[in-house]
Chains A and B, each alone.
Chain A
């Protein structure tokens, strides 16, 4: 039977199992929106800015492990998606972004709201399509989902001219894709596995660095088996948080610029680094020339282009983490590394994380710790970018798989609110906290309307230091405390929230923290707390930018009574 392009699109999305679309209307997508009511299986969530549609789809995808879908009109609608698409690209998140385009005869004429969105997004998509014939649409959607969700996941853009949405074609959903240039999971190389097992079995001071690849591959079980069998201490990257329970005796936190001192010291003293599903980002490694100087490096990743990109690697294994670990687990010995692990525990004792100080006012670390306690570590934390992100990474103990959602690669302020919406829609039974900076919050603040309209019951904590805190910290430490435009005037966030129909509380003292979190958790709908924290609190430990992981700055005079 013949169907319009818009109908073909909707039916194809349903075939792909899509349930939710985040988007905003406009002239070039009107035929699609006009068709949507014919398909009540497709829930459309109207956001207030297209960037939020992409971030929400991104958050949704990180939880479901299926492509999130966002929809925008041509021109400004499409360009507004770009940050969100780039964010998904940097963090390997499967996303299908659909944009309307001016009608085919107008393409190339600088028509009203015509923009070359396939051109603009070229460096930040895994692939993209400009559909010229409704008969191609079903095949394109099939391919787009296949590409977005397989191998190393990423965003795929589909640009659909208005006439292609309106014109008719026969609808046949293909059951196969024909992609001669698309190489999937290579077979795990047996010789490499043998070499890797030998290295692992012989190592005396091995350290595993777990990355987001473990989460993408959902290899939690295999990873845990690997680590427990070989008794190798684990540190994670920022986005590797949630790949391994942090209350495990072999868990030693996060490495990198704001990693735990003991995690970085473990890496710097290791004789073998086993890097799993991570890409040696500069924020994780510091200066690569002094990274893990005594270690051989074993790198396991699905993307062959990541091998040797930033760092020399002794043994690469290319493949899906789950497959690789399943094979590798059979080849490694049951071992113990008692002396090595007690050494790292010793460092942990010497450099603890401390969430409160007697002389201090309300500390952000204290807030995060209480959210952890009162949610019993079961919340999904969706963070902004900056200090709030680092404190959320450091002071919440992540025991639940995939419970830390953050913009790692692009570092997009404002990610937290829309992404939390997507997370909550994907996991309606989970407690979802959006941890926002007061600066970043104002970059996507308009989504409070979406949250209200759709009654998306997330809990919002603004870690309000009246500053672009992370940048202020750099100015303090590296620009002699010359604060150029990092101190913020802010609106009354409680009033703002209430104006959007979301109940809110302001917290200025320690004693109010626990009751406020209780109020938020007891309330059935969305809730916001504006935590007015110390303005000049810094994130420690810190590696001096450009230096190696051994150049650790810590808070001057750390008191020894840790509550971590």
Chain B
């Protein structure tokens, strides 16, 4: 059984308790959620959710079917093996002195990230991309002293026409 990261996307009703029903189902079926991202979708009253979990395909398919049975879940698919675009957004607060500021700015440039806040001894950086890009930027900035990181988790859509 090959354990990999699976990306599930779900269209769900925007009602109280829906996120709880979904996360509780993962817990009950013994899955650890890597990340979960929720926000409104193109349809009013419905949210779209991206969930990343680790498991083998049969296990994930079982949990997908259980999710699909939740009354508030309209549709849920495992898009791990189809062509998708994925993005994650991260905000990184890094220590910056007069001496290091320009070096940091250069790195940020390469990553097409933005500086969104400047303080006397720190910079806050916004980066968007797949998780690997975010990971490597964080790695490079670590040497300067990272104060805080916040990441949204993966959001995903299938490519092209539907």
Q: Do A and B bind each other?
A: yes
B71 x A147 contact (CB < 8 A): yes
The reply on B20 being an interface residue by CB < 8 A is yes
B73 x A181 contact (CB < 8 A): yes
Cα–Cα, bound, A122→B18 (Å): 11
The reply on A360 being an interface residue by CB < 8 A is no
Q: Beta-carbon contacts of A180-219 to B below 8 Å, as 1s and 0s?
A: 1111000000000000000000000000000000000000
A308 x B58 contact (CB < 8 A): yes
Stretch at the interface among A123-131, A280-288, A344-352, A482-490: A123-131
A309-330, CB < 8 A from B: 309
The reply on B12 being an interface residue by CB < 8 A is yes
The reply on A339 being an interface residue by CB < 8 A is no
Residues of chain A lying within 8 A (CB to CB) of residue B73: 181
Q: Beta-carbon contacts of B60-88 to A below 8 Å, as 1s and 0s?
A: 01100110111111110000000000000
B17 x A118 contact (CB < 8 A): yes
The reply on B24 being an interface residue by CB < 8 A is yes
A182 x B71 contact (CB < 8 A): yes
CB distance from A547 to the nearest CB of B (A): 24
A304 x B71 contact (CB < 8 A): no
Cα–Cα, bound, A147→B72 (Å): 12
With A180-B13, A304-B65, A305-B62 as contacts: A122 and B70 at CB distance below 8 Å: no
The reply on A1 being an interface residue by CB < 8 A is no
Residues of chain B lying within 8 A (CB to CB) of residue A183: 68-69
Give the total of B residues in contact with A, Cβ under 8 Å: 23
Partner of A181, one of B25, B58, B72: B72
The reply on B159 being an interface residue by CB < 8 A is no
CB distance from B75 to the nearest CB of A (A): 8
Residues of chain A lying within 8 A (CB to CB) of residue B24: 122-123
CB distance from B48 to the nearest CB of A (A): 13
A148-202, CB < 8 A from B: 179-183
Residues of chain A lying within 8 A (CB to CB) of residue B46: 180
Residues of chain A lying within 8 A (CB to CB) of residue B139: none
A260-318, CB < 8 A from B: 303-305, 307-309
CB distance from A308 to the nearest CB of B (A): 7
Q: Beta-carbon contacts of A337-357 to B below 8 Å, as 1s and 0s?
A: 000000000000000000000
Cα–Cα, bound, A352→B70 (Å): 45
Q: Beta-carbon contacts of A357-380 to B below 8 Å, as 1s and 0s?
A: 000000000000000000000000
Q: Beta-carbon contacts of A99-143 to B below 8 Å, as 1s and 0s?
A: 000000000000000000011001100110010000000000000
The reply on B21 being an interface residue by CB < 8 A is yes
B1-27, CB < 8 A from A: 12-13, 16-17, 20-21, 24-25
A305 x B20 contact (CB < 8 A): no
A62-86, CB < 8 A from B: none
With A123-B28, A180-B74, A181-B74 as contacts: A130 and B69 at CB distance below 8 Å: no
A303 x B69 contact (CB < 8 A): yes
CB distance from B110 to the nearest CB of A (A): 44
A122 x B71 contact (CB < 8 A): no
Cα–Cα, bound, A6→B85 (Å): 51
Shortest Cβ distance from A143 into B: residue: B71
CB distance from A124 to the nearest CB of B (A): 10
A305 x B16 contact (CB < 8 A): no
Residues of chain B lying within 8 A (CB to CB) of residue A307: 65
Shortest Cβ distance from B74 into A: residue: A181
A308 x B71 contact (CB < 8 A): no
Cα–Cα, bound, A383→B73 (Å): 37
A181 x B62 contact (CB < 8 A): no
Query: Which of B28, B61, B71 has the most C-beta atoms of chain A within 10 angstroms of its own C-beta?
Result: B71
Residues of chain B lying within 8 A (CB to CB) of residue A181: 12-13, 70-75
Shortest Cβ distance from A119 into B: residue: B20
Cα–Cα, bound, A119→B19 (Å): 12
A122 x B20 contact (CB < 8 A): yes
Shortest Cβ distance from B25 into A: residue: A123
Residues of chain B lying within 8 A (CB to CB) of residue A180: 13, 46, 74
Cα–Cα, bound, A304→B69 (Å): 9
CB distance from A325 to the nearest CB of B (A): 23
CB distance from B49 to the nearest CB of A (A): 12
Residues of chain B lying within 8 A (CB to CB) of residue A179: 71
A127 x B71 contact (CB < 8 A): yes
Cα–Cα, bound, A305→B62 (Å): 6
A309 x B71 contact (CB < 8 A): no
B72 x A130 contact (CB < 8 A): no
CB distance from B9 to the nearest CB of A (A): 14
Q: Beta-carbon contacts of B84-122 to A below 8 Å, as 1s and 0s?
A: 000000000000000000000000000000000000000
With A118-B17, A180-B13 as contacts: A126 and B62 at CB distance below 8 Å: no
CB distance from B153 to the nearest CB of A (A): 23
Residues of chain A lying within 8 A (CB to CB) of residue B12: 181
Residues of chain B lying within 8 A (CB to CB) of residue A309: 62
Partner of B62, one of A118, A147, A182, A308: A308
Query: Which of A122, A180, A182 has the most C-beta atoms of chain B within 10 angstroms of its own C-beta?
Result: A180
Sample 26 A-B pairs with CB under 8 A, ordered by A number: A118-B17, A119-B20, A122-B21, A122-B24, A123-B24, A123-B25, A126-B71, A127-B71, A130-B16, A130-B17, A147-B71, A180-B13, A180-B74, A181-B12, A181-B71, A181-B73, A181-B74, A182-B71, A183-B68, A183-B69, A303-B69, A304-B65, A305-B62, A307-B65, A308-B58, A308-B62
Given contacts A183-B68, A305-B62, 9 further A-B contacts (CB under 8 A): A118-B17, A123-B24, A123-B25, A123-B28, A126-B71, A127-B71, A179-B71, A308-B61, A309-B62
The 7 closest A-B pairs by CB, nearest first: A305-B65, A181-B74, A127-B71, A181-B73, A123-B28, A180-B74, A305-B66
